Structure 1
Amino acid sequence: MLVVENLSVNYGAIKALVNVSCRVDQGEIVALIGANGAGKTTILNTISSIVPAAAGRVLFEGEDITKTAPHEIVKRGVCQVPEGRRVFSKMSVLENLEMGAYIRSDKKGIAQEMERIFHLFPRLAERKKQLAKTLSGGEQQMLAMGRALMSQPRLLLLDEPSMGLAPMLVEKIFEIIGEINGTGTTIMLVEQNAHMALSIAHRAYVLETGQIVLEGPARELAENPEVRKAYLGE
């Protein structure tokens, strides 16, 4: 579904990514793990065209989207939930979700998607008239995910969904990620909590200083002594 080929990205003189290649097959959850500054978010931002590639290319369903505008990438079926949630704080929960459907005009379909999101996230249904800035961190994360799902993505890019959340909420968020994947949405997941990421992913890539140093089935990486020592605290 998604192929990243020899991707290099620079921030001025800093090489953020160096010849990175990875792929996501339809129906998978693929995790990117690594230390802060390893380049995980940069991969997502380059797929979304928020950050330009210096070299290499990104293919989605066989088409080169490397130089495609960000809003066109959403129209093609790739949507990102950014690190830090980035909800529209002065808008209500309902308005945030409606913003997620900005590329759609099928009113009936939008209403059905809204119901599905309220089913996935009952807390949002209870708070739909509340301003987004009054929500807790976990509720804002649910809202950011719901907003992305309103565009009906075939590929969902999740950037640090558990950041700053209480352990109980982290488990809930990951449970919901599993549910979203179970209904047919393919997911690429960047996550600091390597243990949770590897427990839910089918495959994973380990990044260090802008390069992929390990890749394979998530279960195998979870048993890898280097990964356990570096990222699982063992």
Structure 2
Amino acid sequence: MFFEIKDLNVHYGAIHALKNVSLQVNEGEIVTLIGSNGAGKTSTLRTISGLVPKSSGTIEFMDKPIENTKATDIVKMGISHVPEGRRIFSDMTVLENLEMGAYLRNDKDGIKEDILDIYNKFPRLKERKSQLAGTLSGGEQQMLAISRALMSKPKFLLLDEPSMGLAPVIVQDIFKLIKQINEEGTTIFLVEQNANMALSISNRAYILETGEVVMSGNAGELLESDDVKKAYLGG
């Protein structure tokens, strides 16, 4: 199995944030986790990345348990996380942000090649490579955050609310990019409040409510579900 969580529980003090969460992601898929604010979506990603300790349960990546692994070692294993709110290094240039994404790599020529590849994908980042990242627009910052994560050459990319706060036309661009990254061979686990867009590009989805998985299935079928429409799609 490429990636699997079994019976994951997470507590913040007395708050039981994740309750027996189980889910799977197969290699090559885009899988979406949808749910309202406070459902536990970000906690799920942060626990996978080793940023939040679990109370119980298992997390396996490529058949290896990773739930007690340090965050830097998880990146080394091939999991990269684009956090909610982008979290770029605003006082560093675009180029320096990209170089930071490759900090675990030693292949200088490969790093240069990958930066050029990103500039081909995002001509706007190339135009602004010497500009401080904090001066970019929201959409450009999101492109940079995703590009920085790609610099570690991940097999598995975690995306937390990539469309948050962006204009609808930019959201379209970001989702096209996510689809392209997936088609180029990276498996994606997507947390997203824009359920319509997320389900439209995903293979499968899980729905999280107050820390519990309440529904899962084929993304197309969930898009058509009356319950999902009422709760998440404004239907």
CA distance in 2, matches of 1:205, 1:118: 34
- CA distance, structure 2, for counterparts of residue 17 and residue 121 of structure 1: 37
Could you tell me which residue of structure 2 aligns to residue 121 of structure 1? 122
Answering whether residue 10 of structure 2 is matched by residue 6 of structure 1, we say no
The alpha-carbon deviation at position 112 of structure 1 amounts to: 1.2
Other structure's SS at 2:231 match: helix
State the shift of 1:118 in Å: 1.1
TM-score by length of structure 2 reads: 0.99
Deviations 1:44-80 (A, max 9, x none): 0000010000000100000000000000000000000
Matched, 1:91 2:108: no
The amino acid that maps onto 2:96 is E
Q: What CA deviation, in whole Å up to 9, does each residue of 1:25-53 have, x standing for no partner?
A: 00000000000000111110000010000
Structure 2 unaligned residues grouped into runs of 5+? none
**Aligned pair count?**
234
SS at 2:50 equivalent: coil
Query: Which consecutive aligned stretches of 4+ in structure 1 deviate over 6 angstroms post-superposition?
Result: none
Note the aligned Cα RMSD (angstroms): 0.5
**Equivalent position amino acid for 1:227 in 2:** V
Alignment TM-score, normalising by the size of structure 1: 0.99
SS at match of 1:172: helix
1:157-176 equivalent positions in 2, closer than 5 A = 157-176=158-177
Query: 2 CA distance for matches of 1:122 and 1:56?
Result: 43
What displacement does 1:120 show? 1.7
Q: Does residue 1:217 correspond to 2:218, yes or no?
A: yes
In the other structure, the counterpart of 1:151 is: 152
| Identity %, equivalent residues | 61
Give the SS at the match of 2:157.
strand
Equivalent AA in structure 2 for residue 199 of structure 1: S
Whole-angstrom CA distance in 1 between matches of 2:117 and 2:16: 41
Shift of 1:116: 1.4
Look up the match of 2:50: 49
- By how many angstroms is 1:122 displaced? 1.4
Q: Secondary structure at the match of 1:143?
A: helix
Q: 1:199 maps to which residue?
A: 200
SS of corresponding position for 2:44: helix
Gaps of 5+ in 1: none
